[in-house]
Amino acid sequence: MSYAVVNPATGESVATYATISDADLAAAVDTAAAAHSDWSRSSTPAERAALLQKVADLHIERREALADLIVREMGKPIEQALGEVDFAAAIYEYYATNGPEFLKDEPIELLDGDGSAFIRRNSLGVLLGIMPWNFPYYQVARFAGPNLMIGNTIILKHASQCPESAAAIQQIFQDAGFPEGAYVNVFAASSQMEQVIADPRVQGVSLTGSEAAGASVAALAGKYLTKVVLELGGSDPFILLSTDDMDATVEAAVGARLDNSGQSCNGAKRFIVIDSLYEEFLSKFTASLTAEAPNDPTLADTVLGPLSSLAAAEGLQSQLDRAVEQGATLASGGTRDGAFFPAAVLTDVKPGMDAYHEEFFGPVAAVYRVSSEEEAITLANDTPFGLGSYLFTTDKEQAMRVADRIDAGMVWVNIVLADGAELPFGGVKRSGSGRELGRLGAEEFVNKKMIRIAG
């Protein structure tokens, strides 16, 4: 295995980087462990917050160069790439601003009133982060931001197609003033991860990726009794029960499906529409979605770029072809050209078809008709995933009632693309476990140490 930059828009092989040796990987863990023993235990929350603020500032200072890297590495449209850099900066700034407060001692009211007790939050040690290609900066920020604030040190294995953005992140941490070993980027192979997880100094591992990768890492974490956080796939429902502005609702639906060229774990993928609105929604949604033709990701007005690689496009095409072979009806905006994949809409997807339970990681939407609120909830929950969900209704009581019954880690009501640094992110079922972002993101890899003092 090697790390390589292959521009999905052109097919050009830009650069290749060698995978780290086992000896150098062991040395990287040594460096991170040494930094934890020294810097983590001697630095104050205020000092760590100041370093994180500098990381945020450097992301903004270098935003154009950083964005250009991921356009080349994974084909993200340039305006979305710039937005991702800005969001990463906002996450670091959020933890720089709020981290010291999150780490304050938490008093416990004693039942017998004799003496005092409190919770003190300490770092755990070295953490391993295994990150995906679809959001190269944001994924790292939501893991590294809170954990460096806590004082944990980090070994970061990025996706093999993102070596240059991975190196750029490492450089930012160095230039911000973090000591050697606080954040260590490694060009490691997946097969080398057991070596890291097995090290007793590594106290946690966070993975964002596929179900298969999550199962593999979770098994290793269990074997070595290591804390693990997983953010895996999603097939998020977009439930439409009522609307007073169909055009705005369709615009939201298209945005929720085409974000990151459809390659977002929590993108809306299954559109569940009450029968009285189904025909109008399907007609307008299909027209609007398929009108967004794939285009050059370097252009400012591009909404839909190439998929991340030719292999990703070929895999999505295979899924789509299989869905049609099994009886689904297809409306498509064109023919695939290399990694450029036209938006498509599937209807007549039934239980028993592969498409009914699969995640489509690209600009493919499945639209379903339902006759009632109850049927919508049942269909929304009939999936192995449980990451996010979207609910559109003009009835406030219905909104709360349905949101409460959706089996997902997140519910967005009458809004899409509204993630924030302060909002916890994560799922249930096969979408993973644990939370990132917000205050909960600073609660995963921390020793909540109870200290009881006699009266």
Angstrom distances, CA of residue 46 to CA of 75, 95, 99, 206: 38, 11, 8, 25
- Nearest to 266, CA basis, from 413, 402, 386, 129: 386
**Rounded to whole angstroms, how far apart are CA atoms 428 and 160?**
27
Catalytic residue, candidates 84, 231, 436, 444: 231
- Sign for the CA dihedral angle at 322, 323, 327, 330 comes to negative
| Backbone torsions φ then ψ of 268, nearest 5 degrees | -70, 130
For 34, the enclosing helix (H) or strand (E) is helix 22-35
- Sign for the CA dihedral angle at 352, 357, 359, 363 comes to positive
Instruction: Assess whether 162 carries a catalytic annotation.
Output: no
- Nearest to 186, CA basis, from 199, 177, 224, 176: 199
Instruction: Assess whether 375 carries a catalytic annotation.
Output: no
Catalytic residue, candidates 84, 93, 162, 265: 265
347: β partners: 329
Q: Given strand 183-186, what is the order of strands in its sheet?
A: 183-186, 153-157, 126-130, 202-208, 227-231, 432-433
Cβ atoms of residues 388 and 266 within 8 Å: yes
Find the distance separating the first CA and the last CA of the chain, reported in whole Å. 60
> How is residue 379 written in tokens?
């269909």
- Sign for the CA dihedral angle at 137, 259, 162, 439 comes to positive
Cβ atoms of residues 132 and 83 within 8 Å: no
Residues 6 or more apart whose Cβ sits within 8 Å of residue 301: 79, 295
Cβ atoms of residues 224 and 44 within 8 Å: no
Q: Residues 23-47, buried b or exposed e (16+ Cβ, 10 A)?
A: eebeebbebbbbbbeebbeebebee
> How is residue 66 written in tokens?
């950083």
**Rounded to whole angstroms, how far apart are CA atoms 71 and 128?**
26
Catalytic residues: 231, 265
